Amino acid sequence: MEVSELEARERNLELIAQLEASGSLQEGPVADAFRAVLRHHFLPGRPLTEVYEDTALPTKVDERGVPVSSSSQPAIMALMLEQLHCRPGQAVLEIGAGTGYNAALLWHLVTPGGRVVTMDIDEDLCQQARAGLLQAGIEEVLVVCADGAGGWPAGAPYDRIVVTASVTDLSPAWVEQLAEGGRLVVPLALAGRVQQSVAFVRSGRSFFSDGLVSCGFLGVRGWLAAPAPEPDPELEAWLAEPGRPLGAVLTEEDPLEFESWLALTHPGYVRASLAGRPVFGLRDAGGVALVGAEEGSHVVAVHGAGEGAATRLAAAHREWTRRRPRLGRLRIDAFPAGSEPDLSRYRNVIRRPRFTFAVE
């Protein structure tokens, strides 16, 4: 397909204007990088009308037809690059090469004097990234085919590490390879339906958050891939019995934001399927209180001896209704598992095999 470079540049400018109008992109180095890098170089054969839309575009599917890689939505790319705070002369490691588009943006941010290493576990994607970078006239980015969970020690230390696939835990290798005071930006899938792109600053062997934005990414593959959920016989037994409706109705038409806040800030958050319908809520030692859609409303029902959980859920919803806390104001800090400090000041603690995440 013959591509008009002039039309591509015009459409790219229209995309940048859209990102600036939405607040995803600020005038400055990141916007300059978007002006310098044309997305169609990394998505050959696609119509420009599709390439320069603010949307994610799948680039590879598995044998079941399920996407395993995509060109990320430009809006979330811009937000994450803003979180990264790259400067000329810095060394950057990217986990998840994808098409190579983000690596090209990173290269513009750290030029002159900087360097970029981008990694992907999939050789097909590495070849695609190399071809896209070459088409864009960028030969300096090193594309490595390997599991990004191990990082790339040959290029360490890095001033910045960015992960472009969602993870449920962090890799100790990223601590080892990130310079003290360096920034790690990573999409975390800790709880709930919404992921958070967290900007961490390394201090010793811990990470302290410096802002987060909601996002959505395909899950990482390889060593850090999320394990399959384990059976929960206790929850299954509670849900096998009919629930007792409390008559409590949530006011939200779509409680996504409330659920996301609840998941991160309240111990005992649970999400399940009941009679084929998704439900969420809180559990305690004796039972569970769940929110489910019913005839256009969202009704709370108790299963097992979940009255205590229902009381906590109602209190949480009152707090949410009164304060409308923004997810972006949450703080998520990460400590190596087994060597955490006193976490009593935090509102919620989410434990993973390698890191413990504390939320306030």
**Is this structure's pTM higher than 0.85?**
yes
Structure tokens at 146: 């390997």
Give residue 328's pLDDT: 87
| pLDDT values of the chain reduced to their tens digit, one per residue, 360 residues | 567 889 999 999 999 999 999 999 999 999 999 999 999 999 998 999 999 999 999 988 888 888 878 889 999 999 999 999 999 999 999 999 999 999 999 999 999 999 999 999 999 999 999 999 999 999 999 999 999 999 999 999 999 999 999 999 999 999 999 999 999 999 999 998 899 999 999 999 999 999 999 998 999 999 999 988 889 999 999 999 998 988 766 767 778 899 999 999 999 999 999 888 899 999 999 999 999 887 767 889 999 999 999 999 999 999 998 988 888 889 999 999 999 999 999 999 999 999 999 999
Residue 42 DSSP symbol: G
Q: Is 339 annotated as catalytic?
A: no
Structure tokens at 247: 């008559």
Q: Where in the chain is the domain with CATH 3.40.50.150?
A: 58-215
> Alpha-carbon distance 51 to 73, whole Å?
10
> Alpha-carbon distance 293 to 296, whole Å?
6
Give residue 182's pLDDT: 98
Residue 316 DSSP symbol: H
- Could you say which of 24, 69, 72, 166 is catalytic? 69
The DSSP code sequence of 66-131 is: -EEEEE--HHHHHHHHHHHT--TT-EEEEE--TTSHHHHHHHHHHTTT-EEEEEES-HHHHHHHHH
For the stretch 276-288, pLDDT in tens is 889 999 999 999 9
Q: Select from 262, 261, 283 the least CA-distant residue to 272.
A: 283
Give residue 61's pLDDT: 82
> Alpha-carbon distance 86 to 107, whole Å?
10
Structure tokens at 108: 């513009």
> Alpha-carbon distance 213 to 219, whole Å?
17
Give residue 255's pLDDT: 87
Give residue 2's pLDDT: 62
Cα-to-chain-centroid distance, residue 178: 19
User: 45 to each of 146, 183, 241, how far by Cα in Å?
Assistant: 27, 35, 54
For the stretch 226-263, pLDDT in tens is 988 889 999 999 999 998 988 766 767 778 899 999 99
The domain covering 58-215 belongs, at the CATH homologous superfamily level, to Vaccinia Virus protein VP39 (3.40.50.150)
With b for 16 or more beta-carbon neighbours within 10 A and e for fewer, the 309-319 pattern comes to bbebbeebbee
